[in-house]
Structure 1
Amino acid sequence: MESDWTKNSRAQRIGSKELEPWDCAKTTTALWREQRYQFNIKEDVTGHTQVKSSVQRAIRAKILEQYKEGIEGIIDDVMPKKSPLILMKCHEHINLIVMNNEVLFFNHFDGPYFPTLKLLHKYPNMLPRLQVDRGAIKFVMAGANIMCPGLTSKGARMDVSVPADAVVAITAEGKNEILAVGTTKMSTDDIKRINKNIGVETAHYLNDYLWKTVVDL
C-alpha cells in the first residue's frame, strides 16, 4: 500500500510545485517521527552548498513575508546579512536552512518555512502560540497531531486568533518552553466551535530527530 509520504511526494512531482502548509507539516512530521527512520546528518543530507547572495536575499525575503511582524525586528539577528547561508538538501526533498552551524528553518520542496524549536526558544515571540492542556503533553512529545479538545479544555489556551494553515508554536499547561511547531488545520474560531478532529498538524517537536541534529561544517 502506498504510504502518505509517497503519495505526497508523487503528487508534488506531478502536480504544482507549491505545497500548502498542511501538506508540508504532514510530510516533515512523517520523516522526523518515523520510528524506523533514524535521521543522521551525515547519511541523510544529500548535499549542501553556500548559496549565492541573491538566493540568500530571496530566502530572507520569503521568510520576512511569511512571518512579517513576528520576525521583522529580529531578522538581522536571526539571519545576519554578512553570514553565509548554507542550504542542506536531505532525502525526501527536505531542505534545511543553516547559518553558523545552526539549523534555523526547514521546508519541503518549495513549501513554507518552519522555524526550528531551537530558534524559537531564542525568539519565542516569532510565532503565535497555542497552549494544550497538561494531559496532551505526552502526545505532543510523541509527535502526535493536536486534537481540538486538547486546545479547548481546561488548562488549554488560545489567546490569539489565527486562520487555517497558519504556522503556530505549541506550548503546554505548566511548561515554559515551546514543545512543537505545526500548522492549524482550521482557524482558532473553528477549533473552538467544532471542537473535534485535528486542530494542529505537527511538523516538528521537542526531542525528535531534527531537534537532535548537530551540524558541524
Structure 2
Amino acid sequence: MFKRFSKDDVSSSSQVKSSVQRGFRAKLLEQFPNSEPYLEDILPKKGNVTIAKCKDRVSLICCDGVPLFFQQRDGHIFPTLRILHKYPNMMPTMRVDKGAISFVMNGANIMCQGFTSKGGRIDTPLEAGAAVCILAEGKKVALAVGQTTMSTADIQSVNKGIGVDNLHYLGDGLFGTKELD
C-alpha cells in the first residue's frame, strides 16, 4: 500500500475539530483497548491533529505533522510502525519465521505457512479482517502491520494461501516519512 509513498501523494490536509478527535480516540480505544494507558501520549487532546488525504482513498491521521495512524476508506484504523515501536503491546501480534522476513520487507503478503512453521507463532485468536502487528522470529521490533484475510483458526487448519495482507512494513514509503509538513 505504501511501497512508493512520498509526501507528494498527499492531496489535501485538514485540521480536525475536537469532536472529530474525540470520536477518533473512542474508535481507537474500541479497536485497540490495550492502548488506553498511553493514548494521551500518542494523541494528546491539545495536539494539532490533522487528516491527510492520499491516493487510493487512504487517510493519514497526523499529530503535529507526524503520521501516527492510517485508514483505508472507512475501514480499520492501523497504527504506523513508528507508533508500534514505541508502544508494542497496543495491538494483537503474530510472528513469522525467519524465512518470511525478506519477503515481508519487500511488501509481500504473508502466507499461512509463515505462521504455522517452527519459528512462527499465533498468540491470540482473531477473526478475519482483524488488524495485526507482525513480528519476526529472533527480532524485537515490529516488522509490519497487516490485516488478517482469514481467522487464526483457519490459518492454522487450512495452512495454505495468504494469511495476512501486508499493509505497511519497515522500509516502505510511509516508514521513511517522518513529517508531512
TM range (shorter): over 0.9
Which whole-Å CA distance do the structure 1 matches of 2:75 and 2:152 have between them?
22
CA gap of 1:216–1:191, structure 2 versus 1, over 3 A, is: closer
Query: In the alignment, which residue of structure 2 is the partner of 1:17?
Result: none
The answer for unaligned runs of 5 or more in structure 1 is 1-28
Matched length: 181
* 3-state SS of paired residue (2:167): strand
Give the CA deviation at 1:216. 4.9
Deviation readout 1:53-73 (Å, 9 max, x if unpaired): 1111111111111112x2122
Percent sequence identity is 51
Give the CA deviation at 1:159. 2.0
Match of 2:98 among 91, 114, 134: 134
TM-score scaled by length of structure 2: 0.95
Query: In the alignment, which residue of structure 1 is the partner of 2:24?
Result: 59
Match of 1:85 among 49, 60, 63: 49
Give the CA deviation at 1:214. 2.6
RMSD of aligned C-alpha atoms?
Answer: 1.2
Larger radius of gyration: 1
CA gap of 1:57–1:159, structure 2 versus 1, over 3 A, is: same
Query: In the alignment, which residue of structure 1 is the partner of 2:172?
Result: 208
TM-score scaled by length of structure 1: 0.80
> Runs in 1 of length 4+ with deviation above 4 angstroms?
none
* 3-state SS of paired residue (1:83): coil
Query: What letter matches 1:193 in structure 2?
Result: S
Which whole-Å CA distance do the structure 1 matches of 2:144 and 2:108 have between them?
10
More strand by share: 2
* 3-state SS of paired residue (1:169): strand
Which whole-Å CA distance do the structure 2 matches of 1:149 and 1:94 have between them?
29
Query: In the alignment, which residue of structure 2 is the partner of 1:151?
Result: 115
The answer for unaligned runs of 5 or more in structure 2 is none
